[in-house]
């Protein structure tokens, strides 16, 4: 059995104020060719199909187009909802699509049957474990007491394992933050306040675990528990990452080997560093100038119309930073402090607000802080489902 593991497509993503749809269509064309050339038996997408719960029409069109092309190749496709997706909208057409060998899971369900893929050596059982907050797991499993993300995952995996015959070859597909993983700027935290990490140990009974959520390709606790990483670079802190997919081979006994295959994007995302005079001179930067670029301008002096000047060289200049420039006036300082504020979580901002507005600058108790975290998590969940 050979399958392709990908994740975090984020169709409909805005980056640098632009929809990435055409770049996504281009790189998915490469992914399709690769699936064909490598003769894979199935394609697995581990969540965050779309960038938001209500994706733009063109993103939905692209997903529809890609599913049709997989169908032309007679390839089964398996996908789950990530934290950016709406579980209900991902579930659309679930039972009908399964008849065309498109297997999907939006909501987590107790007792859900695994997908059974067949090869010459027999069945391979696939557990589809969509992203679900502890609250959603409690509702799906009828649990009264509070759960952490780790406890919720333990419940979900135990239930999924109970549907798989002992000793059978099996694969898990999940969207979660595994402890020890390295995050990137373009991931939205699963929980705004609480701990959202789960232990890799839950997945050790599976011969391979195809993970989504973290955008950098990486292993998570074992060679066979892996993040493929996102389809494209979606923030400048991912500039040095390589993006691609994992081709996984499973033999008759369930032993797994895998290889990472890079994909070449239509535009690279990169950071260019230099003085204005260097950046404006020919030959300073040999790489394509239509890449999506952040310029870190090293000059210490004020430069008039720096953005416009650089845009003439880099038509897709998304961001300009001035690491060595220290503006003195109050307006600029206000902008800086606004930037600082934007980096803080909603929970931190609320705690500061509370402290600022109480007589003795009181701090929230742990219990009060937990209430605030639960409120924000619930709001986040409503935003995903009802946006």
Q: Which residues between 35 and 64 bind Mn ion (CB under 5 A)?
A: 48
Whether 85 and 49 have beta carbons less than 8 Å apart is answered as yes
Nearest distance in Å: CB 258, Mn ion: 21
Give 23 or 48: the residue with its C-beta nearer to Mn ion.
48
DSSP annotation string for 213-268: S-SS-EEEEETTEEE---SS--SGGGTT---EEEEEEE-TT--EEEEEEE---SS-
- The dihedral region occupied by 122, where left means phi > 0, alpha psi between -120 and 50, and beta the remainder, is left
Residue 8 or 377: the one with the smaller Cβ distance to Mn ion is: 8
- Closest residue to Mn ion, judged by C-beta, is 48
Show the binding pattern over residues 172-211: x = contacts Mn ion (CB under 5 A), - = does not: ----------------------------------------
SS3 of 3-14: the string is: EEEECCCCECCE
Rounded Cα–Cα distance for residues 387 and 383 (Å)? 5
When binding is defined by CB under 5 A, the residue of 5, 8, 228, 292 that contacts Mn ion is: 8
Report, in Å, the least distance between residue 316 CB and Mn ion: 22
Least distance to Mn ion, CB of residue 22, Å = 20
Q: Cβ 84 to Mn ion, closest distance in Å?
A: 6
Q: Of the two residues 218 and 370, which places its CB atom closer to Mn ion in the complex?
A: 218
Which residue's CB is nearer to Mn ion, number 207 or number 213?
Answer: 213
Which one of the spans 8-16, 66-74, 202-210, 324-332 is the region binding Mn ion (CB under 5 A)?
A: 8-16
Q: Which stretch binds Mn ion (CB under 5 A): 5-13, 121-129, 260-268, 321-329?
A: 5-13
Nearer to Mn ion, 117 or 269 (CB): 269
Tell me the C-alpha distance between 51 and 266, whole Å: 19
Q: Are 165 and 205 in contact (CB under 8 A)?
A: no
Q: What are the helix (H) ranges across the chain?
A: 21-37, 57-72, 87-90, 94-98, 134-141, 149-161, 276-279, 306-313, 330-343, 346-356, 366-386
> Closest approach of Cβ 48 to Mn ion, in Å?
4
Which of the 8 DSSP states describes residue 365? P
Closest distance of CB 62 from Mn ion, Å: 17
Q: Which is nearer to Mn ion, 6 or 224 (CB)?
A: 6
Q: Is 377 in the site for Mn ion (CB under 5 A)?
A: no
CB of 215 to Mn ion, least distance (A): 6
Question: In Å, how far are 12, 39, 185 from 17, measured between CA atoms?
Answer: 12, 37, 16
Q: Which of 112, 30, 115, 13 is nearest to 66 (CA)?
A: 30
Nearest to 13 by CA among 47, 62, 55, 61: 55
Please say which residue, 170 or 197, places its beta carbon nearer to Mn ion.
197
Buried b or exposed e, range 122-140, using 16+ CB within 10 angstroms = ebbbbbbbbbbbbbbbbeb
For Mn ion, the closer CB: 30 or 48: 48
Stretch in the footprint of Mn ion (CB under 5 A) among 1-9, 94-102, 256-264, 347-355:
1-9
User: With CB under 5 A, what is the number of residues at the site for Mn ion?
Assistant: 2
Three-state secondary structure call for residue 292: strand
Choose the stretch contacting Mn ion; rule: CB under 5 A; options: 4-12, 155-163, 274-282, 360-368: 4-12
For residue 291, state whether it binds Mn ion (rule: CB under 5 A).
Answer: no
116 DSSP β-pair partners: 125
Classify residue 200 by its DSSP letter.
Answer: G
Q: Which of residues 218-257 bind Mn ion (CB under 5 A)?
A: none
Output the smallest distance, CB 197 to Mn ion, in A.
15
In angstroms, give the least distance from the CB of 213 to Mn ion.
6
Binding positions for Mn ion, rule: CB under 5 A? 8, 48
């Amino acid at each position: 059995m050979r399958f392709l593991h990908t994740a975090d497509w984020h169709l409909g993503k805005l980056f640098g104020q632009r929809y990435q749809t055409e770049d996504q269509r281009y790189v998915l064309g490469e992914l399709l060719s690769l699936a064909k050339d490598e003769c894979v038996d199935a394609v697995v997408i581990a969540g965050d199909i779309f960038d938001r719960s209500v994706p733009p029409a063109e993103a939905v069109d692209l997903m529809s187009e890609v599913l049709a092309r997989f169908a032309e190749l007679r390839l089964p496709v398996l996908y789950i909802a990530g934290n950016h997706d709406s579980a209900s909208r991902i579930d659309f057409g679930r039972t009908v699509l399964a008849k065309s060998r498109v297997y999907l899971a939006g909501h987590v369900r107790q007792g859900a049957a695994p997908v059974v893929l067949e090869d010459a050596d027999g069945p391979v059982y696939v557990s589809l474990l969509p992203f679900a907050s502890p609250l959603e797991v409690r509702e799906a499993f009828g649990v009264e007491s509070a759960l952490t993300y780790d406890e919720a995952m333990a419940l979900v995996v135990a239930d999924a394992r109970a549907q798989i015959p002992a000793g059978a070859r099996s694969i898990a597909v999940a969207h979660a933050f595994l402890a020890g993983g390295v995050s990137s700027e373009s991931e939205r935290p699963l929980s705004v306040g609480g701990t959202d990490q789960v232990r890799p140990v839950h997945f050790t009974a599976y011969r391979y675990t195809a993970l989504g959520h973290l955008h950098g390709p990486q292993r998570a606790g074992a060679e066979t528990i892996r993040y493929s990483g996102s389809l494209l670079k979606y923030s400048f802190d991912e500039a040095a990452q390589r993006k691609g997919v994992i081709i996984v081979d499973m033999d008759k006994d369930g032993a797994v080997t895998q290889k990472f295959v890079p994909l070449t994007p239509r535009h690279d995302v990169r950071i260019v560093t230099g003085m204005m005079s260097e950046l404006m001179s020919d030959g300073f930067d040999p790489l394509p100038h239509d890449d999506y670029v952040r310029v870190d301008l090293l000059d210490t002096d004020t430069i008039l119309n720096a953005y416009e000047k650089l845009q003439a060289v880099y038509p897709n200049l998304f961001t300009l930073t001035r690491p060595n420039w220290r503006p003195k006036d109050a307006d600029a300082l206000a902008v800086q402090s606004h930037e600082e504020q934007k980096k803080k979580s909603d929970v931190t901002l609320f705690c500061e607000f509370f402290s600022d507005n109480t007589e003795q600058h009181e701090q929230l108790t742990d219990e009060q802080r937990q209430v605030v975290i639960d409120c924000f998590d619930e709001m986040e969940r409503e935003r995903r489902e009802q946006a």
